[in-house]
Structure 1
Amino acid sequence: MEQDFIFDQQRDKCRNLILFVHGFTGDSSKTWTNKNGSSFPSLLLENAYIKEHFDVGTYRYFTTLLDLFADAKEKTRWIKNLIRRKTHKKERNLEISELASNLSNHFRFTLRQYDNIYVVAHSMGGLLTKCLVSDELKQNGSTKVRLFISLAVPHQGAELSILGGIISDNLQIDNLNPVKHFINSLNQRWVSLDTKPATKYFYGNYDDIVTKDSAIAIDNIEKDVISCAEDHNSISKPSDKSSIVYISVQQFLEEAHKHTHLQDKGFQKLPADEKLDDELFVIKLIIADIAEESQTQAKEVFFNAEYARKLFSSRHDKKQIQLLFDNIRQLYKDSYDGYLADEIMNSGQLLAEVHTKITDSDSNLLKSLSLALQPYHKKGMLHQLANDGESDIWWSQERDLTTRGDKK
């Protein structure tokens, strides 16, 4: 009986797993192995960061083109197992929802040691992953999947499946049909998810099986899309470490791991040796006569935001961070205009109002691609803005920094 999982690296205390999931008619070896005999998992393990922080494995499930092939394959296995006196399990093509359910149960039991799973999925394996994530989030409100690398996945279906449906009643071929219920239902569920793992969509310029339009899922947030000069088969087996697929996947894994670490670490209290009293954002709070307790809170969220800034270092991350800064600044400006027009409102109320707006806007205006960024990080970003001498963030009508000593 073939194993469901093959590990290139597995350690008892590791909590992070990179899991490769093959596609239609693929397997746990050929899908990922290039013509030089090097596999995608083994190439990744040559990277020091990956090797230190992750286990790496591949998932295998049964998939054949025609039921005729499945029967022939099963007869061969039956004979081999009879000779070896092994128990034989007759397998057949299962529809994608059943494959997703099986993998979800593996997450719960077989892979229970892992808190964080980073999926690299090719072709139909991506639909399996997408179905699993959608089901787990709907049923449990959570999933172990922290990153979803989508390699030439037919999110809008594959037209060749229509021809395949003529010659075979394979349930998996039916699931890939762009006009059938499964694809459309899965897309609707995916779009409706409030939170989902960071997803990176790859498509091959020479892919005649999954087009660019199909390889990019319909979504309600901005998508991160990577094009590469590959076809449908070569995209899952980088030729070497200079391949754009290898370089980008390695980078995404490292970034996602750091983001997961930030999420797991949670809110951090300000260390005793962290001196922020001379920071510009603190001086502005003092000038506005903001209560010391509120100043302490501002220092703590600023500290958390600074910690996050160090982890969100890629160009894509910085673009998302800048968008958050722009929206946070606009929330502040709206409140500050109201403060200037209200003779009763004081500086402390202004600060509290902006903090409340940031919390209330976390699921819409300030929604980010990374689940690691919490409302307290975004409150800290407000004070990062105030710490920028070129950013017009103040908490009182008084804007003279020389009055700092009068407020102490």
Structure 2
Amino acid sequence: MKKLDHAYALIIGVDNEQKTTQVLRDAQAIFDVLTNQELCGYKEENITLLLDKKATTESIIAAIDKYINKIDENSSFLLFYSGHGGYYEGRSYLLPYGATSESLILGEQLREKLSQMKSKRMIIMFDCCHSGGFFDGKDDVISQTISNNTAQNTLRKSEDLEGIAQEIDDEQGMVIIASSQAEELSWGDNNDDYSVLTTSFIEALNAKHKHFFADEYIRMVETVNYVFTRIPELIKTLKERSDIVKDQTPYANLQMNSDFVISYIPKNFKDKIVTNKFKIQTQQKAPLTSKSSNLESWERAEGNNLLLFVHGFSGESKDTFGNIPKMLQADSNFDGWAMKPLGYSPVVQPQLGKDIWGAILDVDKIAGFLKTSIKYKFKDYNRIAIVAHSLGGLMAQKAILGLDADHRNRISHLIMFGTPSNGIAPEVLAKQWNKKYSALSSEGDYITSLRKQWKDTFNHTYPFKLKVAASSEDEYVSVESCHKPFDETHCEIVDGKHLQMVKPDNEKDDVYALILNTLTGSKFFNQFTNKEEINLTLGKYDAVVKKLLPNKDDLDKRGLTQLIFALEGLERKNEVYEILNHHPMAKNNTDLMGIIAGRHKRDYLKTYSYKSSQLSRDYYSKALEISVENEAYSQIYYHAINLAFLSIVTDPETGKSEMKKYANQALEATEHCDDNLWKYATVAEANMYLGNLERAKEFYIKASTNIPIREKVSMHTNAYAGYVALTNKDEDEFTQFLKAQLLS
């Protein structure tokens, strides 16, 4: 088997004669699996194993110094620590063998040492036998291991791995995993070989988590995701054996520049690697970049107060909120505010990729990181204001609920945009996503529990200022889901589709004005989103018609669109068709019809309303008919591919023949058009409907090369929903391809 020439590791197991052999077994097991040439491919001479009496302060520091001198930018470094730690005179520490208060390894000392390494691919793992929160000042006695339903080998509660992890985090090129949250214990069982963290990590190195082999490597992000999935399963098994076992949730901070390689996949899996002539770009080895390359941004650390931006799973930490941070920094009202993002570097993917929705596991993972950051990393800020987008708002709510009263009172503002606080309608999950995101159901345990906890905690009276913004243009999150859990006084309407709504063009845009006015305490007035748009969103159709209909001859395209929606809402269809057939701006305007059809399509995908689906089909069909008459080929393929999509999504049983008809019509039209990303996307989607999956892959790769993530997400939404409706498969080789290619 090939070996990883530049992979290094320091494995430490320190029991300090507590007779808990599992600590040493865990460290030895990690060493054994890394050096097993049928598995990971590490060179034994590149790994240092220090067990108990050999793991003194001097030997640990000497080993780190050795790697500082040896490791270069092409190297990876794994530090695995199994043992004990704690808090001494206000500083976190690790406990080497025989250490005194003068010879502890402090968190700040470890950070200083690690920062001297040239590697940008570092993973630090803390697997202590228990890691309860020592910051609470309690002196509880906790169990270290269990066997036959009885507690064995007790120690004083003194460990806080989150505190240590936060202290050594440099926010640049390091992945940190701790076995549990501060308020939890970490568990193992003497009837089993290893602790639950060590067990799950070894299983990941054995590729137990992989069903799709694009190359020969085990990578960082998939490993972390497996650990977070597997530990609760192992804890559930332990609970069945003993009533003293409690929940355990690992801690992770993924701040890194590339989804780097940890090891080779096991030798016996090599024949399962998927190969074809189209290489999936996101699964090729990511190039190394300098530690500072992804930090050239708007981040500002100075100030007594912190404005923290939390993005969703389709966003990126430095990009999601556009120019908002820089515009705020130019305002003298915010001279005392530091501004930071909380999230992933561009190459780091959550479990389901950079999708609009995400796994509940990811929501809880980032919420735990946010909560911990507020407690430790951001402990020196007097006030913290959170601006969140999409599922970032759910993470923020979850994190705030997890804070104790003192830390919660440091939250001064919470502003959420496009957050599905009331979850996703069950019918949407069933029809569009084939129940893939069922944990986010508005009727599911997760959302109902979150809403109950929020209501019980605050009862509509908040210790912070709250604003919740929705948009009628949001193609993914309904206004109801954004607003329903909150009083009307906290709810606002802004302009823009889901991914654009937090990217204002200037200071006059609603989203910026809402943030500015909320933070400064002034009154918010919609400037960009006009009154008619708000009334349409709120279902006040009479008010829109009353104002716009008398002036219909002078309306621009946007005004006409609003009038048409209002008339439809009042079921005044004849007047709608009168405008479309005779108004100078609307007559035969396929672009306007496409806008109206698209809005009904978005409403259908959010609500699965039969009325919305029929209106969307009607407008796309009328626009297609006119486009064919005028030989407007780019309009033909645009309307035809949308009709193909609607045919199969609205009626999977009988819509296949219509789907194929429209897909062929779209393909034929593209042959008359210049190349661009939407032509490529149309060719890809049409071939997918026609069963030509390899050609579909070819054109999805062409369409998604060097384009922003929001366009990729849009392509994936159509492709995934269409494919699931067509095949009723939400997890196979093609959906894996879509995820890897479009959600990266």
TM-score, normalised relative to structure 2: 0.28
Larger RCO (alpha carbons 8 Å, 6+ apart): 1
Largest Rg, 1 or 2: 2
